[in-house]
Structure 1
Amino acid sequence: MKTIAFYGSSLLSSYWNGAATYYRGMLRALADQGYRITFYEPDVLDRQAHRDIDPPDWCDVVVYAGNAQGLRRAATAARKADIVIQASGVGFEDDRLLQQVMANARDGAIRIFWDVDAPATLQALRDQPGHPLRAVLPHLDMVLTYGGGAPVVRAYRDLGARDCVPIYNALDPATHHPVPAQQRFACDLAFLGNRLPDREARVAEFFLSAARRCPDQRFLLGGSGWAGLALPENVRLLGHVPTADHNALNSSARLVLNIARDSMAATGFSPATRVFEAAGAGACVITDAWEGIEMFLTPGQEVLVARDGADVAELLTSAQGNAYGRIGARARARLLAEHTYAQRARQVDTLFARQMMHERAGVLL
């Protein structure tokens, strides 16, 4: 059995951790492909106090202390794995962790950097010629990314990566699916996302301005960090929404809004986990406009696209409201047919198998 040591922010908690859905869907599907996986996550940012799931039976989880000694012990464990992966955005000494993890990987192991926020990482690399990742990239076997398409692939190759392959977000139908609506989440438009500097202005434009334009509509704002923000009277603040409640939220709202962060919207080809979670639950999704959406869902038929808050308000008050349920159903059918984590895992398995063949050929030579 092939073994993976995966270093990421958290598998157990989605608290200030938007990658949780992606990790869970990808790694569960890879386990189904026959991989034995150990996930290493630091005890930082109060995530362990906000766990969404117990340690699963398809992945071992090691929670290490958020200090130099804990990092060193976790990095040393990399030598036991056939495939060593570090994700971006771990949350504690990421650069030092990457250096130590890859230094501890044994000869012949596949070394991978898995970037779950490629636009931000690439901007940091452009701004910092001495960034530690620049020195590590040429020694890695490949970079995998959460999204970004051809622009991200070109950028990573230009920086010295041997290869870069986008592994897009997807649907895990065992986790995200339609459930009965719940009154506590009843609303006309729901948005779920943490308050981040490069998202806040877009939330103000696409969500809050739409709420002000539609005073008779009900809005729900979920996610961490929004407390203290001045909100219109028709917006109800939920705070952190555990992943166990995502299906109920998405199944109860008349429409669900996705808002990309600045860098992801500018780069394009970066569908957020929220799109797949909501559409997987059968919700009709409104997304802000970004290049590449048609690779995943067809605008107007499987997803609604808004250029600004005025567009969102128009969709909310449209006489076509009866069509929204059909749009959500078509979106779910499209994702089940073309965009599941099982399909993504087969893609990753093929990449790993090809790289292992190269490693063996190198040994034989």
Structure 2
Amino acid sequence: MTKLRIVVLGLSLSSSWGNGHATTFRALLRAFAARGHDILFLERDVPWYAAQRDLKNPDYCRLEFYSDLEDLGRYRDAIGNADAVIVGSYVPEGVDVGRHVQRLANGIVAFYDIDTPVTLAKLDRGDYEYLSPGLIPDYDVYFSFTGGPTLKAVMERYGSPAARALYCSVDPEAYPVLDCEKRWDLSYIGTYSPDRQPTLERLLIEPARRAPHLRFAVAGPQYPEGIDWPENVERIDHVPPDDHPAFYARSRYTLNVTRADMIRAGYSPSVRLFEAAACGTPIVSDIWDGIETLLEPGYEILLASKPEEVVDVLATWPEDQRRAMGGRARRRILAEHTAAHRAASMEQDLHEAIRRRRQEQPFALAVES
């Protein structure tokens, strides 16, 4: 297909601290660039990410920073000349950024929602932090981290001309299988979230209390001081992406915990799900609609709702059974859920949007599809 000039305005590419957006963008854009496309990533320069940057000069795109909406004006020509501009969820002043982009762009404009169920819940409450209902019909494509029935709802309720699933993924080269001595029986990696905490309590902290002879770890920032961590739970404030494979490799099992809004919507996999599976680490997950379309329960992933179910697996599963499940999950992810798969899907959806625009407005776009 024809080379595309893409401008992406996302929450962060430079820092993975306290967010899952950076690792998602890194894998996706690296794979997209490998398909021959030109990418400019524009990131709002904010102090909390500036102090925790773990990527400065990506070799697959240009990364540049703007200080505020006025400063974003420096990129007027880049936005206007792009074949496609993609605005991400949770971009600071995202509604104003979206209006700005829609006004300037001569190519198509897409919204990439890495937080779809959270976004829709916010819209229901009249909370237009980074997206408003009025912007959605003017985004040519609404890329969604959530698939299933939610896509139809975005089109029918909010007037999106094309809502398409664009799940998170994994870069297999960045998440290999490593041979490391096991340090934990069950681990979890994720930023603190009040709606995830009850599940973490039920599926990791309570099992740790019931099995003091086993070892556990919780990695991620922003956990409040008042949590009663058992002595056999190791707390790690932050694990940079480059260290994720070793973290998973040191875990006999790892836990996947889903936010409440995403459980209600279903079809909302976490990037950690794909990362851990790519590393061959068996996953224990909470339960939500659509997980069976990604990994087969009982064969490629373990589902649990009670602490005793977790303790039983940790205490009784033999090593060969554990390894076999991790291997099956890895093969499934590499066959269907890599960044290369997502980049190909995004490329196809962008070209389809370009064709639609050309049909509606002949000669409006210069790109040949």
Q: TM-score, normalised by structure 1?
A: 0.93
User: SS of the counterpart of 1:154?
Assistant: helix
User: SS of the counterpart of 1:194?
Assistant: coil
User: SS of the counterpart of 1:361?
Assistant: helix
User: In structure 1, what is the equivalent of residue 221 of structure 2?
Assistant: 224
CA distance, structure 1, for counterparts of residue 181 and residue 42 of structure 2:
35
Q: Is it true that 1:44 corresponds to 2:43 in the alignment?
A: no
Aligned length: 359
Deviation at 1:290, TM superposition (A): 1.0
CA distance, structure 1, for counterparts of residue 200 and residue 127 of structure 2:
32
2:95, 2:128 within 8 Å by CA — same for their partners in 1?
no
User: In structure 1, what is the equivalent of residue 280 of structure 2?
Assistant: 282
User: In structure 2, what is the equivalent of residue 10 of structure 1?
Assistant: 12
Q: Is it true that 1:162 corresponds to 2:164 in the alignment?
A: no
User: In structure 1, what is the equivalent of residue 260 of structure 2?
Assistant: 262
- The CA deviation string for residues 238-264 of structure 1, in whole angstroms up to 9 with x for no partner, is 111101110000111110111011111
- The CA deviation string for residues 13-37 of structure 1, in whole angstroms up to 9 with x for no partner, is 1111112221111111111222101
User: In structure 1, what is the equivalent of residue 270 of structure 2?
Assistant: 272
CA distance, structure 2, for counterparts of residue 37 and residue 147 of structure 1:
24
2:141, 2:353 within 8 Å by CA — same for their partners in 1?
no
Could you tell me which of 210, 215, 218 is aligned with 1:213? 210
User: In structure 2, what is the equivalent of residue 139 of structure 1?
Assistant: 138
User: In structure 2, what is the equivalent of residue 175 of structure 1?
Assistant: 174
Deviation at 1:144, TM superposition (A): 0.6
* Aligned residue runs from structure 1 range 77-116, under 5 A: 77-90=78-91, 92-106=92-106, 109-116=107-114
1:72, 1:100 within 8 Å by CA — same for their partners in 2?
no
Moved more, 114-123 or 161-170: 161-170
* Structure 1 residue runs without a partner (length 5+): none
CA distance, structure 2, for counterparts of residue 297 and residue 126 of structure 1:
31
CA distance, structure 2, for counterparts of residue 102 and residue 211 of structure 1:
51
* Structure 2 residue runs without a partner (length 5+): 364-369
- The CA deviation string for residues 297-318 of structure 1, in whole angstroms up to 9 with x for no partner, is 1111111111132322222122
Deviation at 1:364, TM superposition (A): 3.4
- The CA deviation string for residues 88-141 of structure 1, in whole angstroms up to 9 with x for no partner, is 012x212221121222212xx111111100001111111218886211111221
Query: Do the aligned partners of residues 285 and 114 (structure 1) sit closer, same or farther apart at CA in structure 2, a change above 3 Å counting?
Result: same
- The CA deviation string for residues 269-291 of structure 1, in whole angstroms up to 9 with x for no partner, is 11100011111111011111111
User: SS of the counterpart of 1:13?
Assistant: coil
Q: Is it true that 1:22 corresponds to 2:21 in the alignment?
A: no
Deviation at 1:74, TM superposition (A): 4.9
Deviation at 1:45, TM superposition (A): 5.0
User: In structure 2, what is the equivalent of residue 318 of structure 1?
Assistant: 316
CA distance, structure 2, for counterparts of residue 52 and residue 157 of structure 1:
40
- The CA deviation string for residues 208-231 of structure 1, in whole angstroms up to 9 with x for no partner, is 112112111100110011252321
1:31, 1:58 within 8 Å by CA — same for their partners in 2?
yes
User: SS of the counterpart of 2:60?
Assistant: coil
User: In structure 1, what is the equivalent of residue 199 of structure 2?
Assistant: 202
1:148, 1:264 within 8 Å by CA — same for their partners in 2?
no
1:13, 1:50 within 8 Å by CA — same for their partners in 2?
yes
1:153, 1:164 within 8 Å by CA — same for their partners in 2?
yes
Query: Do the aligned partners of residues 121 and 227 (structure 1) sit closer, same or farther apart at CA in structure 2, a change above 3 Å counting?
Result: closer
CA distance, structure 1, for counterparts of residue 297 and residue 286 of structure 2:
11
CA distance, structure 2, for counterparts of residue 348 and residue 169 of structure 1:
12
CA RMSD of aligned residues (A): 1.9
2:69, 2:97 within 8 Å by CA — same for their partners in 1?
no
CA distance, structure 1, for counterparts of residue 20 and residue 127 of structure 2:
28
Query: Do the aligned partners of residues 216 and 297 (structure 1) sit closer, same or farther apart at CA in structure 2, a change above 3 Å counting?
Result: same
Deviation at 1:333, TM superposition (A): 0.8
State, as a whole percentage, how many aligned pairs show the same letter: 33
CA distance, structure 1, for counterparts of residue 307 and residue 88 of structure 2:
34
Q: Which amino acid aligns with 2:25?
A: Y
User: SS of the counterpart of 2:195?
Assistant: helix
CA distance, structure 2, for counterparts of residue 162 and residue 55 of structure 1:
35
Q: TM-score, normalised by structure 2?
A: 0.92
- The CA deviation string for residues 180-201 of structure 1, in whole angstroms up to 9 with x for no partner, is 3157xx1111100000222222
* Aligned residue runs from structure 1 range 328-339, under 5 A: 328-339=326-337
1:147, 1:169 within 8 Å by CA — same for their partners in 2?
no
CA distance, structure 2, for counterparts of residue 63 and residue 19 of structure 1:
16
CA distance, structure 2, for counterparts of residue 201 and residue 14 of structure 1:
24
